[in-house]
């Protein structure tokens, strides 16, 4: 008896401690087995209690009557697959006749309580099949990105979603994006993660950081061009527009539409060009966009020039491989003409914590009212948590890992040799002699701990 008690204490105490301090480890060691057993054992009764069963069909009733058996019970959706993951469980359910994916989605909260999971979401995989993703703990509390992620050109695994899956920034599917959020909500950390993700890829990075360059200049070794004030930004954006026009000339020259060329081989953007001719794609990161859009006087030619260049890049840049990543606290019509036109071109939307509904509406008002509500509800202490949506109306709660400036500097320095020298942007290439001390100072300020 004593031995049993000791053994029990030796298992339960570490499990409790892990669950409290390291929920991810707890999940991998004990949680996943317990949760799988709980779900499988309680499945039928929970589904019944959640109203997710269907009464027996006529032929089953008739068969039971003929065979003199008891009336058959209502049936829950069929379990097609149970897949334990690093953060939870994924259930594939085959719906019964008369059920729809909305029934399961509407019961997610009840399922969450009934199976004692942290979160439950569902989505339709195909007609009649629904995937229910359950998380065993709050995966956004301490974000750990999985080691295995999809790798494709211009695809950056930038954050974790609340259902435990990876949130990607896919520049080829969603060329331009807008990130909004109140001050100290995590926009720059999100952007830093993007830079760190893009650094090992064949891409030119261009930065406009009107906060005197505090966020992007330490990463200068991986940037092909940087601007830290609106005057330089205006010139830089004009240079990008000229580059875009140059790239279109390259594509035109390569098109050579003759009857001998198959439709699929006619180049319409840089990705259709043969590799030796393909210009390097450019990601333009703009932090604190309001600084660029604010007019100093009633008619401000510099501001109009900047907005015009940004609108042109947003409208025409994709095929030339120029992608915009714009961050700001607000981005609405109060910033003047052209802003709503520019916003309409920024398909990817991410909103960190915002203080008022109007700011959230600037990100999601024209996409999804639910996402507006979710963005306002992000608690102030959960910095970095954001709502990411796209123009299809779908949205997710995400959080990027907390990449410190020092980690990002290290990654950028490691991949500094990948920084392409673009002739059009040569005047804006950052002075590396000026940035090296900054990097060293950072190293002194934050000595390596891990
Ligand atoms: N994903 C995250 N995980 C944990 N902490 C975060 C995360 N993102 C941001 N933070 C914390 O929030 C602080 C502010 O973040 P950040 O500088 O990105 O805010 P911001 O929205 O850019 O603010 P501002 O508008 O003032 O520039 C960071 O110093 C960091 O401590
Ligand atoms: Mg910032």
- What domains can you pick out in the chain, each with its CATH number? 2-135 (no CATH), 155-445 (3.40.50.300)
Distances (CA, A) of 230 to 23, 196, 211, 304, 324: 46, 25, 10, 11, 17
At residue 450 the predicted structure's pLDDT band, cuts being 50, 70 and 90, is very low
Known binder of ligand: residue 186?
Answer: yes
Indicate which atom in ligand 1 lies nearest the CA of residue 159.
1
Q: Which residues contact 248 (CB under 8 A, 6 or more apart)?
A: 319, 320
| 264 vs 169, higher pLDDT | 169
Q: What is the pLDDT of residue 433?
A: 61
Take atom 26 of ligand 1 and give the residue whose Cα is closest: 183
For the chain, give the percent of residues with pLDDT over 90.
52
Q: Which residues contact 254 (CB under 8 A, 6 or more apart)?
A: 267, 273, 274, 277
Q: What is the pLDDT of residue 438?
A: 47
Q: What is the pLDDT of residue 109?
A: 92
Q: What is the pLDDT of residue 392?
A: 66
Can you say how many angstroms the Cα of residue 107 is from the centroid of all Cα atoms in its chain? 26
List the Cα angle 113/116/120 in 5-degree steps: 65
Q: What is the pTM of this model?
A: 0.85
Put the strands of the sheet holding 129-135 in their side by side order: 78-84, 88-94, 129-135, 119-126
Take atom 2 of ligand 1 and give the residue whose Cα is closest: 384
Pocket of ligand 1, candidates 383, 401, 405: which has the most ligand atoms within 8 Å of its Cβ, to mutate?
A: 383
CA distance 31 to 155: 32
Indicate which atom in ligand 1 lies nearest the CA of residue 399.
1
Q: Please give the average per-residue pLDDT across 29-38, as a whole number.
A: 91
Which protein residues touch ligand 1 with a CB less than 6 Å away?
Answer: 181, 183-189, 329, 383-384, 399-400, 402
Pocket of ligand 1, candidates 139, 144, 179, 188: which has the most ligand atoms within 8 Å of its Cβ, to mutate?
A: 188
Known binder of ligand: residue 297?
Answer: no
Which token pair is 194? Answer: 């993007």
* Cα 184 to middle of ligand 1, angstroms: 5
Contact assessment for residue 304 and residue 292, using Cβ atoms and an 8 Å cutoff:
no
* Cα 427 to middle of ligand 2, angstroms: 26
- Which ligand is in closest contact with the Cα of 142? 1
* Cα 212 to middle of ligand 2, angstroms: 11
* Radius of gyration of the chain, Cα coordinates, nearest whole angstrom: 27
Is the four-CA dihedral 326, 332, 334, 340 of positive or negative sign?
positive
3-class secondary-structure state, position 357: helix
Compute the residue count for the chain.
450
Q: What is the pLDDT of residue 182?
A: 92
Whether the pLDDT of residue 256 is over 90: the answer is no
Contact assessment for residue 207 and residue 225, using Cβ atoms and an 8 Å cutoff:
yes
| 268 vs 307, higher pLDDT | 307
Taking each continuous run of H as one helix and of E as one strand, the counts in the chain are: 15, 14
145: Cα within 13 Å, side-chain hemisphere = 19
CA distance 166 to 136: 16
Whether the pLDDT of residue 164 is over 50: the answer is yes
Distances (CA, A) of 232 to 214, 225, 427: 16, 10, 10
CB atoms within 10 A of CB 235: 16
Which token pair is 30? Answer: 């004990």
* Cα 225 to middle of ligand 2, angstroms: 19
Contact assessment for residue 95 and residue 128, using Cβ atoms and an 8 Å cutoff:
yes
CA distance 202 to 281: 8
3-class secondary-structure state, position 140: coil
Known binder of ligand: residue 181?
Answer: yes
Q: What is the pLDDT of residue 191?
A: 94
Which token pair is 143? Answer: 């974000």
Known binder of ligand: residue 182?
Answer: yes
Q: What is the pLDDT of residue 436?
A: 46
């Amino acid at each position: 008896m004593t031995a049993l008690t000791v053994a029990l204490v030796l298992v339960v105490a570490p499990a409790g401690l892990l669950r409290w301090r390291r929920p991810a480890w707890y999940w991998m060691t004990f949680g996943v087995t317990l949760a799988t057993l709980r779900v499988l054992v309680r499945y039928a009764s929970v589904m019944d209690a959640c109203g997710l069963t269907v009464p027996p069909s006529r032929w089953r009733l008739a068969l039971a009557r003929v065979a003199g058996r008891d009336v058959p019970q209502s049936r829950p959706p069929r379990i097609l697959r149970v897949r334990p993951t690093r953060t939870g469980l994924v259930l594939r359910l085959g719906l019964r006749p008369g059920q729809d994916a909305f029934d399961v989605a509407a019961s997610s909260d009840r399922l969450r309580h009934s199976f004692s999971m942290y979160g439950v979401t569902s989505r339709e995989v195909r007609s009649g099949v629904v995937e229910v993703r359950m998380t065993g703990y709050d995966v956004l509390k301490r974000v750990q990105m999985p080691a295995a992620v999809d790798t494709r050109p211009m695809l950056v695994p930038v954050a974790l979603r609340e259902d435990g899956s990876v949130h990607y920034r896919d520049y080829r599917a969603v060329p331009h994006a807008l990130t909004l959020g109140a001050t100290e909500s995590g926009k720059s950390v999100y952007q830093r993660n993007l830079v760190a993700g893009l650094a090992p890829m064949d891409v030119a990075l261009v930065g406009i950081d009107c906060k005197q360059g505090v966020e992007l200049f330490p990463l200068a070794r991986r940037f092909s061009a940087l601007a830290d004030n609106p005057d330089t930004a205006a010139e830089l954006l004009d240079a990008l527009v000229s580059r875009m026009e140059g790239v279109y000339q390259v594509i035109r020259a390569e098109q050579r539409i003759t009857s001998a060329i198959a439709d699929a081989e006619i180049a319409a953007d840089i990705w259709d060009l043969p590799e030796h001719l393909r210009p390097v794609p450019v990601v333009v990161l703009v932090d604190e966009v309001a600084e660029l859009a604010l007019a100093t006087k009633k008619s401000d030619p510099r501001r109009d020039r900047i907005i015009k260049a940004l609108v042109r890049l947003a409208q025409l840049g994709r095929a030339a491989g120029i992608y915009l990543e714009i961050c700001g606290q607000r981005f609405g019509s109060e910033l003047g003409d052209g802003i709503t036109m520019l916003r309409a071109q920024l398909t990817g939307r991410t909103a960190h914590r915002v203080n008022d509904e109007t700011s959230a509406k600037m990100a999601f008002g024209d996409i999804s009212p639910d996402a507006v509500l979710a963005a306002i509800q992000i608690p102030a202490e959960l910095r970095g948590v954001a709502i990411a949506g796209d123009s299809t109306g779908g949205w997710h709660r995400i959080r990027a890992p907390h990449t410190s400036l020092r980690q990002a500097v290290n990654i950028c320095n490691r991949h500094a040799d990948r920084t392409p020298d673009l002739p059009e942007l040569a005047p804006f290439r950052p002075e590396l002699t000026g940035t090296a001390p900054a990097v060293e100072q950072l190293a002194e300020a934050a000595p390596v701990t891990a």
